[in-house]
Structure 1
């Protein structure tokens, strides 16, 4: 199993926290909608979403189409959602060993999926099926779910990816992936639930981000990613498990500095990078709302808007763009 560990870095949400940029300036000037900006800057001629604006040679990810499908359901755009489903079926889906999987990237060699993106897409299909009264979406969701439950369970857990070229999974559980959607979409999740609860016994500010199935224990890294930390804390709140040490540090950090950086040192609790990210602020806002810190949540939006209006960078990753837009508009 160890020989597959080389690929795990491509799956983490926080494998890179991306900067915001001048596309927001373009939106203000031209008054384009988010959908129009995406179509103009993030889609190739066939309508597939690439990761970086106006860079058709950047990656085409299941993460991107999943985030966009999720947004289109919220925006009640049935026609655009239907178009994305067609693209999903045409390029992203692969059938192997009587199961259907979603490739984590297209237009390049990819033999693995990404659990977090699969769950997001399945949940979007389920919601769209009900909202748009399209039973075919629910049928597709069930087909994709069957692939996960049939091939992606290891020792009672769902690892972060499955490699169909070797018919094996990774040997780790990514704790930020254990979201409400994860528990809603998948079955046999009791052990995953217990992992989130076990974190209460670790007397640390920051959570471990990985549970290693080979050693049967949590894996600690020196530098933690705030997206993962905020998602894990939020996942715990959803199962009624509070995280007082993390919450206290987070509020103090926010009150003291008025900003939150992308990565921190696990022991010193100091930032190890100097950048801020709208995607971090998206999840920070959501977490503050979950724990009843509504005044703090409002201040997060204010800070996000300040960054949005002042930044002139031009390499906004789609992940950061779409979450930032949903936070500030």
Structure 2
């Protein structure tokens, strides 16, 4: 066998091996991967690029929340190849009539969107387009954003969800869904006017606080009033505080309340009674600690941010991801938000 033939056979072999690899296997060959990222790719990301909600009962349930968080992480990491893959997955499976459906179960798609996920995806697409000088990302973000402003606003305010076909709307605006960074990006690209941005932010700025320092659950558009829940979801509270800081609003009362709970119990629980401040669940959530770390990061309190990262990491299975030790159950949200928090804190430290 002459030298040219040997080289030809070698090239053909490499090509055949590459073709035989699944998308997951190719992804795993790209280094470096953090342990959490490796867990997501190995265990939650299927061969079609869809992210399973968990490993057991909801393996065939896929959420736009997961798409947005994964894209946000990949943008933060600077992984354009995987980012592009996930954009294609989103377009193929979640995009319907320029809406992003909020969930897919098996082959059945939801009939409504979810504002928080849409805003996150729009922001990430617009920022990625600018970062990588990729006009297709910007065009897609603008297309989804234009549709959302046409069909997803009631009395000048965004609403929690819209029916994809009938365009029937919710009449509420959940406080944790208000994402100033998305509004600013949309204004920059001509999707929202300055006044429209001010109107959305006014809902945040005018939100009443309880004596303890926590925020309302949602704004009721018809009655123009804020509503509090009896049971507080800590993740919602942290999202609101995080967004408040981004528009230079004072969150000191909330921070005192948060750290008081941590000092009292030595941990944060997932939910609390709004009247008694007592936990209503027994579990700690990796996502709660992740969001607490991100909140401290935007406050420029890196020591507290690192403290919450350490709390978060204490819940991680050393051999896998954020998996419940007894039941082995997990949730995509409890892996993707920690993954994003890990990268943001790491980048903040490296940029000091």
Say yes or no: TM over 0.5.
Answer: yes
The correspondence for 1:70, drawn from 69, 72, 76, is: 72
Give the aligned partner of residue 173 of structure 2.
173
State the alpha-carbon separation in 2 of the partners of residues 151 and 260 from structure 1: 38
* 3-state secondary structure, aligned to 2:99: strand
Shift, 1:109, TM fit: 3.6
Show CA shifts across 1:221-245 (max 9, x none): 1101001111111211211211333
Q: Is the 8 A contact 1:304 1:328 kept in 2?
A: no
Question: Does 1 or 2 have the higher relative contact order (CA < 8 Å, sep 6+)?
Answer: 1
Structure 1 residues 285 and 246: CA distance shift in structure 2, 3 A: same
Superposed, 1:154-303 pairs within 5 Å as 154-186=154-186, 187=192, 188-200=196-208, 203-303=211-311
Shift, 1:122, TM fit: 1.2
Shift, 1:264, TM fit: 0.8
* 3-state secondary structure, aligned to 1:51: coil
- Kindly tell me the number of residue pairs found equivalent between the two proteins: 295
Shift, 1:209, TM fit: 1.2
State the alpha-carbon separation in 2 of the partners of residues 239 and 116 from structure 1: 17
Structure 1: runs of 5+ lacking an equivalent: 1-30
* 3-state secondary structure, aligned to 1:315: coil
Give the aligned partner of residue 12 of structure 1.
none
2:322 is the counterpart of 1:324: no
The alignment yields a C-alpha RMSD, in angstroms, of: 2.2
Q: Is the 8 A contact 1:160 1:172 kept in 2?
A: yes
Show CA shifts across 1:282-316 (max 9, x none): 11112223334433222212222222248524221
* 3-state secondary structure, aligned to 1:163: coil
Give the aligned partner of residue 30 of structure 2.
none
Structure 1 residues 202 and 256: CA distance shift in structure 2, 3 A: closer
State the alpha-carbon separation in 1 of the partners of residues 115 and 185 from structure 2: 11
Give the aligned partner of residue 43 of structure 1.
45
Give the aligned partner of residue 103 of structure 1.
101
**If the length of structure 1 is used for normalisation, what is the TM-score?**
0.83
Bigger Cα Rg: 2
State the alpha-carbon separation in 1 of the partners of residues 51 and 275 from structure 2: 39
State the alpha-carbon separation in 1 of the partners of residues 265 and 233 from structure 2: 18
**If the length of structure 2 is used for normalisation, what is the TM-score?**
0.78
Q: Is the 8 A contact 2:184 2:197 kept in 1?
A: no
Q: Is the 8 A contact 1:200 1:243 kept in 2?
A: no
Structure 1 residues 300 and 56: CA distance shift in structure 2, 3 A: closer
Structure 2: runs of 5+ lacking an equivalent: 1-32, 187-191, 319-323, 344-352
State the alpha-carbon separation in 1 of the partners of residues 305 and 206 from structure 2: 28
State the alpha-carbon separation in 2 of the partners of residues 56 and 220 from structure 1: 30
Give the aligned partner of residue 131 of structure 1.
131
State the alpha-carbon separation in 1 of the partners of residues 59 and 174 from structure 2: 29
The correspondence for 2:90, drawn from 77, 85, 88, is: 88
Structure 1 residues 35 and 271: CA distance shift in structure 2, 3 A: closer
Q: Is the 8 A contact 1:226 1:264 kept in 2?
A: yes
Q: Is the 8 A contact 2:180 2:201 kept in 1?
A: no
Structure 1 residues 79 and 55: CA distance shift in structure 2, 3 A: farther
